[in-house]
Amino acid sequence: MINLLLFPILLPFFFGIILLFFKENVVIQRTLTLVGLLVSLTASFFLVAKVKTDGIQALTLGSWPAPFGISMVSDMLSAMLVTTSILITLFVVIYSFTAIGVKRETYFYYPAILFMLTGINGAFTTGDIFNMFVFFEVLLMASYVLIVLGGEKRQLQESIKYILVNIISSALFVVAVAFLYSVVGTLNMADISVKLSEVGNTGIITVIAVLFLIVFGVKGAIFPLYFWLPGSYSAPPIPVLALFGALLTKVGIYAITRTYTLFFIHDVGFTHQLLMVISLLTIIAGCIGALAYFDLKQIIIYNIIIAVGVILFGISQMNEAGISGALFYLVHDMIIKGALFLLIGIIIAITGTSNLRKMGGLMKTHAPLGWIYLIAAFGLAGIPPLSGFVGKLLIVQGAFEAGNVFGSIVILGSSLIVLLSVIRIFVYAFWGEPVELPKSNTQSYKRMMFPAVALVVLSILYGVGTEWVLPYMTEATDVLLQPSIYIDAVLKE
């Protein structure tokens, strides 16, 4: 039963390999991808239930005990993130049936998605810091395929920047792991925590902590390391952008969260203060970008950067309200970003452009799309009772408890700018005089609406059902605030 925690990693990998043999057969590709994701989703739901009833699940591969074998660990945080990732991938895949085009589907599109999901779920589940590097590389290699798929000139230009940045970041990751290993002599994350507490507060550990923040900060797009993201994410087709925007930066955020709560807790006055300052700068940079552009994709992409700042600000407070708010907001952001990218994909498909200035009057021709978009926009900005509200409220509460009043003001101010940026899309695209639209297929519009609406409904349920979700968040928070729970589960396994 314990091997349940491997299913969400092995199943997408297994189905991805099978799909490689059916490159030209789109029907088989679609069917097997759906089956693979549904089976993985079922396994992940069972895993969440198992963690809730029996506590943290740990499995050490091979016949070596922890910390010598490679540990896979599923606590409530990783189980929830794995489940959310599979759920979003499922809806993006359904959307892709209409939106991506058959030509791309025959060029390993679905295997690449499944391999990327394997890497993402592996990074969320591993209990070994070098293994995290390995899973990062798996998801990055798959993302390299997705970002160039179709071979348009802009995609190829942006992919070079994306690949270069990630190669440098991966090299730094290996250096950081090597430094850490030279100090503690272990790669098991629970064991690293124990060994670091014995070493005590030394300058070299603080240097390593900052080095890891840079490595994961590139992946998670924190200030000033987010420079590559707006261009790289806007180049590929919308379904790929939705996957990248909803999932990839979250792996970087998870890695910072895990390392900064499990083992870099010896010099909180410096490391977490640094994290807080960077997160606030990230929010401000994202706000400027979200207001500066008249391009649909860029506005929502800069909102990714704002959310990264908001989540990491909550983590940096190192108190219950701040961290549980950050975790709640993390899952909310994955769902709502997925929904918004799918919705703007529909707007772009209908109007034939992503330039706001060339749109108008869609409310008269596509009213349901307008109302669904408006609900998603309010959810993103945190209007109660939608899902963005609860997370931000808890983060602000955590900031007040920690005495960071200025940070609370920045978070609240950013909510207004987020609202302004997404309402601007609504005003330009849906209000005003209708512009002449290119001929589009009504059936394909309806098929694309289904997964987008499903994600919006999911985000509404997540907000309305806060009371039901909070016990899971509290359990995830307890593990982050009390590393001994995690350490005991892994080392005494």
pLDDT of residue 139: 93
In this prediction, residue 430 carries a pLDDT of 87
pLDDT of residue 268: 82
Contact 138, 122 (CB under 8 A): yes
3-state secondary structure of 72: strand
Indicate if the pLDDT at residue 493 is higher than 60.
no
Summarize pLDDT for 293-343 with one digit per residue, the tens: 998 899 999 999 999 999 999 999 989 999 999 999 999 999 999 999 999
- Is 441 a residue whose pLDDT tops 70? no
- The number of angstroms, rounded, from the C-alpha of 330 to the middle of its chain's C-alpha atoms is 7
Query: What mean pLDDT, rounded, does the chain reach?
Result: 90
Q: Which among 121, 140, 123, 119 has a CA at the least distance from the CA of 132?
A: 123
Per mean pLDDT, which range of 82-86, 201-205, 388-392, 460-464 is the poorest?
Answer: 201-205
pLDDT of residue 397: 93
**Positive or negative CA dihedral for 269, 77, 313, 166?**
positive
59, pLDDT greater than 90: no
Whole-angstrom distance, CA of residue 183 vs CA of residue 178: 9
As a whole number of angstroms, the distance between CA 346 and CA 157 comes to 25
For residue 158, what pLDDT is reported?
A: 86
Q: What value does the mean pLDDT take over residues 409-419? A: 92
| Whole-number percent of the chain with pLDDT over 90 | 58
| Contact present, 66 and 490 (Cβ < 8 Å) | yes
Write out pLDDT tens, residues 354-399: 888 888 888 888 888 999 999 999 999 888 888 888 889 999 999 9
Higher pLDDT among residues 19 and 4, named by residue: 19
pTM over 0.85: yes
Q: What is the pLDDT of residues 171-206, one digit of tens each?
A: 999 999 999 999 888 898 999 998 888 887 678 889
Mean per-residue pLDDT, 94-114:
89
- How far apart CA 125 and CA 490 sit, in angstroms, is 12
Q: Residue 489 pLDDT more than 80?
A: yes
* Helices 203-220 & 268-292 angle (0-180, nearest 10): 20
- The token pair that represents 183 in the structure block: 């100090």
Question: What is the 8-class DSSP label of residue 65?
Answer: P
Q: Tens of pLDDT along 24-36?
A: 888 999 999 999 9
Residue 89 has pLDDT above 90, yes or no: yes
Q: What is the mean pLDDT of residues 389-416?
A: 91
pLDDT tens, residue by residue, 423-437? 999 998 888 777 777
Mean pLDDT across 213-227: 90
Question: Higher model confidence: residue 106 or residue 121?
Answer: 121
The confidence score (pLDDT) of residue 1 equals: 44
